[in-house]
Amino acid sequence: MNLKNTLFIFFIALFLFSGVKNSESQISKAYVLCEGGFSANSSRLGMYNILSNNYNGNIFSPGNLGLYPDGLIYFQNHLYLLEQGGFGGQGKIYKLDSNGLVLMSRSFGTNPYSLTASNGKIYTTNGSSSKVIVLDINNFNTIKEITAGVYPQEIVSVSNRVIVANNSLFMGDQDSSVTVINSVNDSAIARIFFRTEVNSLAISNDGKVLVGCSGDQGKIYKFDPVTFQKLDSFQLSSGFEDDIAVDKNSNDVYYINYFNGISRLNTITRQVTNIINNPDPANVYFYGYNYDYSMNKHYVADAKSFVVNGALRIYNSSGVQENSFVTGIAPRRIVFNVPTGVGVQNLSEIATGYDLKQNYPNPFNPVTKIKFSIPKNENVKLKVFDINGREVATLIDSKLNQGEYKFTFNAENISSGVYIYKLITENFSQTKKMILLK
CATH of the domain at 123: 2.130.10.10
Structural domain containing residue 357: 344-436
pLDDT higher than threshold 70 for residue 343: no
With respect to residue 14, please indicate whether it lies within any of the assigned structural domains. no
Same domain (yes/no): 278, 371: no
pLDDT higher than threshold 90 for residue 234: yes
> What is the rounded average pLDDT of the residues 420-427?
95
Q: Determine the pLDDT at residue 11.
A: 39
Range name among 191-195, 261-265, 344-348 with the lowest pLDDT average: 344-348
Distance from C-alpha of 429 to C-alpha of 115, rounded to nearest angstrom: 29
Same domain (yes/no): 174, 57: yes
Under the banding of pLDDT at 50, 70 and 90, the label for residue 294 is confident
> What is the rounded average pLDDT of the residues 61-72?
95
Distance from C-alpha of 234 to C-alpha of 271, rounded to nearest angstrom: 9
Same domain (yes/no): 135, 271: yes
Contact (CB, 8 A) for 34 and 332? yes
With respect to residue 176, please indicate whether it lies within any of the assigned structural domains. yes
With respect to residue 101, please indicate whether it lies within any of the assigned structural domains. yes
Q: Determine the pLDDT at residue 232.
A: 97
Same domain (yes/no): 194, 308: yes
Q: Determine the pLDDT at residue 341.
A: 46
Same domain (yes/no): 153, 294: yes
CATH number, domain of 414, equals: 2.60.40.2550
Q: Determine the pLDDT at residue 244.
A: 98
Q: Determine the pLDDT at residue 84.
A: 96
| Buried/exposed code over 324-345 (b: 16+ C-beta within 10 A; e: otherwise) | ebebbbbbbbbbbbbbebbbbb
With respect to residue 2, please indicate whether it lies within any of the assigned structural domains. no
With respect to residue 20, please indicate whether it lies within any of the assigned structural domains. no
56 CB burial (10 A radius; 0-12, 13-18, 19+)? middle
CA distances from 416 to 252, 365, 409, 437 (A): 21, 9, 14, 5
Q: Determine the pLDDT at residue 12.
A: 37
With respect to residue 8, please indicate whether it lies within any of the assigned structural domains. no
Helix and strand totals (H; E) in the chain: 1, 36
Q: Determine the pLDDT at residue 22.
A: 38
Range name among 14-18, 52-56, 195-199 with the lowest pLDDT average: 14-18
> What is the rounded average pLDDT of the residues 398-415?
82
Same domain (yes/no): 221, 325: yes
pLDDT higher than threshold 60 for residue 275: yes
With respect to residue 275, please indicate whether it lies within any of the assigned structural domains. yes
Same domain (yes/no): 292, 412: no
Beta sheet of 198-203, edge-to-edge order: 198-203, 209-213, 219-223, 230-235
Final residue of a structural domain among 336, 370, 393: 336
Final residue of a structural domain among 311, 336, 361: 336
Contact (CB, 8 A) for 110 and 95? no
Q: Please report which helix (H) or strand (E) contains residue 15, including its range.
A: helix 3-25
DSSP β-bridge partners for residue 321: 315
Same domain (yes/no): 327, 385: no
pLDDT tens for residues 1-32?
A: 454 444 433 333 333 333 333 334 568 899 99
Q: Determine the pLDDT at residue 6.
A: 42
Final residue of a structural domain among 336, 368, 397: 336
Contact (CB, 8 A) for 279 and 295? no
What's the chain's average pLDDT? 89
Range name among 157-161, 238-242, 269-273 with the lowest pLDDT average: 157-161
Local structure of residue 111 (DSSP, 8 states):
S
Contact (CB, 8 A) for 120 and 399? yes
Q: 12 versus 57: which is more confidently predicted? A: 57
Under the banding of pLDDT at 50, 70 and 90, the label for residue 412 is low
Same domain (yes/no): 348, 224: no
Under the banding of pLDDT at 50, 70 and 90, the label for residue 192 is very high
Same domain (yes/no): 221, 278: yes
With respect to residue 367, please indicate whether it lies within any of the assigned structural domains. yes
| Overall number of domains in the chain | 2
Q: Which residues contact 193 (CB under 8 A, 6 or more apart)?
A: 176, 177
CA distances from 61 to 45, 46, 102 (A): 10, 11, 6
Under the banding of pLDDT at 50, 70 and 90, the label for residue 410 is confident
Same domain (yes/no): 251, 299: yes
Q: Determine the pLDDT at residue 186.
A: 96
Same domain (yes/no): 32, 54: yes
